[in-house]
Amino acid sequence: MSEPAAAERTAFDAASVSEMLRADPDAGIAEIRRAARRGDVGAQALLGQIYLEGRGVAVDEAEGFHWHAVAASAGDVESMNMVGRCHELGRGTPVDEALAAVWYRKAAANGLDWGIYNYANLLATGRGVARDRPQAFALYQRAAAMGHAKSMNLVGRHYDEGWDVERDPETAVDWYRRSAEGGDFRGQASYASVLVREGRLDEAERWLVRAIASGSRVFLEKLAGSLADSPHERLRALVPRIEARLRPARA
C-alpha cells in the first residue's frame, strides 16, 4: 500500500515557484505550506529548501530541517541528502556526523548522485563512519559515471596522486577536463593546473576565470595564495579578481 504523502505529491516547477515568490512571497509561501501540510512531499521538500536558503523569507534553518526531515521520512531522496547535510553542518539541528552518514547512505542507496558523493566524503575522511578510502573511491567513480562533476574531479585526484589506484596521469587529466566542463570550480582549477604545466596559459586562464566566478570563499582564498606565487605574470594578475569577489563577504 502506497503512502498517502506520495499519492498527493504535486509538481511545483521552478518557474512557477520563482514567480510566486517574486510576485507575493507571503502568499507563495502560504500556498506551498498548505500543500506541505496536506502531505505533498514535493511541497515539503521545497519548503525545507526555501527556509534553508531564505527565498522570500528570513533564513530559518530549524524550519528548513524540519520540512526536509518530513519529506525524507516520506521517501523524498533529495531531502534525505539534505537531512544528512543538515546533520553534517549543524543546520537547524546539532552536528551529528553519524546521523549524516545514515541519511547520505539512504540517499545513495536510492541512486542520488549527491548522496553518493557526500557519503563518499565521510568514508574518505572517517567522519561518522569507519574510514574506508577504497569504498569512497568506488562511490566517487559511481557518481562520476552519473555525471556528477565534483566526483569527477576527485576521481581525477585519485588517478593523479595514486590514491588507492595505480597512478595514471592521462586518466586524471581526462577526469579533470570532464569535471571542468561539468561546471565544478575545483575541477576547473585542477584542469587549469594541468594546462599551465603544458604551457597552455590562454586556456588555463579561461578556466581559472570561470573557477573564480563560482568558487567558494575557502577555495578562493587558497587559490589566491597559489596564484600569487605563480611564475606567470598573467596568472598573478588574477589575484585582484579574486580579492574583488571576496570583498563583499568581508563588508
Cβ–Cβ under 8 Å, residues 82 and 72: yes
Instruction: Give a yes or no: residue 25 inside a domain.
Output: no
Greater pLDDT, 248 or 163? 163
Instruction: Give a yes or no: residue 142 inside a domain.
Output: no
pLDDT digits (tens, 9 = 90+) for 156-165: 999 999 999 9
Contacts 24+ apart (CB under 8 A), 119-128: 119/84, 120/151, 120/154, 122/88, 122/97, 127/88, 127/97, 127/100, 127/101, 128/88, 128/96, 128/97, 128/98, 128/99, 128/100, 128/101
Provide mean pLDDT across the span 142-165.
Answer: 98
pLDDT above 90 (res 7):
no
pLDDT digits (tens, 9 = 90+) for 66-111: 999 999 999 999 999 999 999 999 999 999 999 999 999 999 999 9
Greater pLDDT, 22 or 134? 134
- The one-letter amino acid code at 143 reads A
Q: What is the CATH number of the domain that holds 168?
A: 1.25.40.10
pLDDT above 80 (res 249):
no
Q: pLDDT at position 1, please?
A: 29
Instruction: Give a yes or no: residue 223 inside a domain.
Output: yes
Provide mean pLDDT across the span 117-144.
Answer: 98
Instruction: Give a yes or no: residue 181 inside a domain.
Output: yes
Separation of alpha carbons 118 and 84, rounded Å: 9
* Structural domain span for residue 236: 147-251
pLDDT above 80 (res 250):
no
Cβ–Cβ under 8 Å, residues 182 and 152: yes
Q: pLDDT at position 11, please?
A: 60
Provide mean pLDDT across the span 118-132.
Answer: 98
Counting residues of the chain whose pLDDT is more than 70, the rounded percentage is: 94
Nearest residue to 174 via CA among 158, 152, 196, 193: 152
Our count of domains for the chain comes to 1
pLDDT above 60 (res 9):
no
Q: pLDDT at position 3, please?
A: 34
Instruction: Give a yes or no: residue 199 inside a domain.
Output: yes
Instruction: Give a yes or no: residue 20 inside a domain.
Output: no
**Residues belonging to the chain:** 251
Torsion of CA 174, 180, 183, 185, to 10 degrees: 130
Q: pLDDT at position 23, please?
A: 81
Q: pLDDT at position 248, please?
A: 67
pLDDT above 60 (res 137):
yes
- The one-letter amino acid code at 79 reads S
**Longest distance between any two alpha carbons in the chain, whole Å:** 66
Instruction: Give a yes or no: residue 178 inside a domain.
Output: yes
Cβ–Cβ under 8 Å, residues 87 and 95: yes
Q: pLDDT at position 12, please?
A: 74
Separation of alpha carbons 236 and 200, rounded Å: 15
- For the ranges 8-17, 181-190, 215-224, the lowest mean pLDDT is seen at 8-17
Q: pLDDT at position 6, please?
A: 39
